[in-house]
Amino acid sequence: MIGVGKIKQYTNVLDKPLSRGRQEVSLSAFAFLFSELVQYNQTQVDNIAELERRLEDAGYAVGARVLELLCHREKGNRRETRLLGILSFVHSTVWKVLFGKVADSLEKGTEHEDEYMISEKELLVNRFISVPKDMGAFNCGAFVAGIVKGVLDGAGFPAVVTAHFVPVDGQQRPRTTILIKFAEEVLRRESRLG
Amino acid sequence: MANTACFIIVSRNDIPIYEAEVGSAMKKEEAAQQHQFILHAALDIVEDLAWTTSAMFLKAVDKFNDLVVSVYVTAGHTRFMLLHDSRNEDGIKSFFQEVQELYIKILLNPLYLPGSRITSSHFDTKVRALARKYL
């Protein structure tokens, strides 16, 4: 008869353990999903700044969750209270979990006290994307910039985070730099904490 | 087992996203409001204390008569605050850690807006069960 059978038991997500899960996801699946995300947002906006902002918002939601999850899993429940601490957390732990490798470099800006840069030879999200000339300086790394912003904001270090292409001599594809500019209150608190 | 205990979760923007009276004593209406008032008054102290240490469990932060406020701050600056009269610190720490796991699972839901109220009744049931077990 139709309908006779074992009734499926739905376990609530709160009952399942917070395990490490599968560490690896298919790159092609991710690239496909990300390209669809960009294309969907392209139909919703009419200019580049708005498109970058939408990608950044998408990344922000990821960043907020990544921060809590990684501090619980990897750092054994210790928070970051200092600027350099949170920057090296982003540069190594977050990058390692999301992209499988530590970021290429972390530098302090020379012109301004509140600027820091994380550089990457080829951002994973940009690997399969080519930007047409008429889109100017648009960078899909805005998604990664959003993730970094989500992590920093969540930890209490508000900042403006953007992604830029930096041409490198001798290389055909430019390097990507995530520029982090911290808010005033962060620097004041840092100097107060000594 | 604590006689009175009031547990609230306050988000980064100082908005309470979950509250529960988990003590074993009879609940009185004004007592509940007073408990919430005491916990909110302790928020300033927690804010200062959170930046001085990298540990998550801040023990007794504030006292009121014979009630003690204990706080646990997560990486995203979400504060779990407990107003209680028990002296069992290890039990309270374990309670906070278990609630943190539950909170992370709620947070991982992509449809949950961080900083909004937690409305899941299953979460409520589990928190009360944990309170009975550890407090």
CA distance to A31, A83, B47, per residue, from A112 (Å): 35, 15, 29
Q: Which class in CATH covers the domain with range A26-191? A: alpha beta
* Structural domain B5-134, CATH architecture: 2-Layer Sandwich (3.30)
pLDDT (0 to 100) of residue B80: 92
Residue to mutate among B17, B74, B80, B97, with most A CBs inside 10 A, is B74
A156 has a chain B CB within 8 A of its CB? yes
Contact list, B50 vs chain A (CB under 8 Å): 79, 81
In this prediction, what percent of chain A has a pLDDT beyond 70? 93
Q: Contact A14/B109, CB-based, under 8 Å? A: no
Examine the pLDDT at A63 and tell me if it is beyond 70.
yes
Flag if B122 and A12 touch (Cβ within 8 Å).
yes
Residues B26-80 have pLDDT tens digits of 666 777 788 888 888 889 899 888 888 888 888 788 888 888 899 999 989 999 9
How much is the ipTM here?
0.88
Inform me whether the C-beta atom of residue A73 falls under 8 Å from chain B C-beta atoms: no
pLDDT mean over A82-89: 89
Q: Do A155 and B101 touch (CB under 8 A)?
A: no
A16-20, A66-70, B104-108, B109-113: segment of lowest average pLDDT: A16-20
Q: In this complex, how many residue pairs, one in chain A and one in chain B, have their CB atoms less than 8 Å apart?
A: 76
How is chain B split into domains, by residue range?
5-134
State the Cα–Cα distance between residues A93 and B125, nearest whole angstrom: 34
pLDDT surpassing 70 at residue A157: yes
Would you state the pLDDT for residue A29?
Answer: 92
- Chain A residues whose beta carbon lies within 8 Å of the beta carbon of residue B111: none
What b/e sequence results for B7-24 when a residue is b if at least 16 CB atoms lie within 10 Å of its CB, and e otherwise? bbbbbbeeebbbbebbbe
DSSP string, A87-149: HHIIIIIIHHHHHSS--SEEEE-SS-TTEEEEEESS-GGGTT----GGGTT--TTHHHHHHHH
Q: Where are the domains of chain A?
A: 26-191
Find the range with the poorest average confidence among A35-39, A75-79, A180-184, B115-119.
Answer: A75-79
| For residues A14-26, average pLDDT | 76
Q: What is the mean pLDDT of chain A?
A: 86
Enumerate the residues of chain A whose CB falls inside 8 A of the CB of residue B109. 13
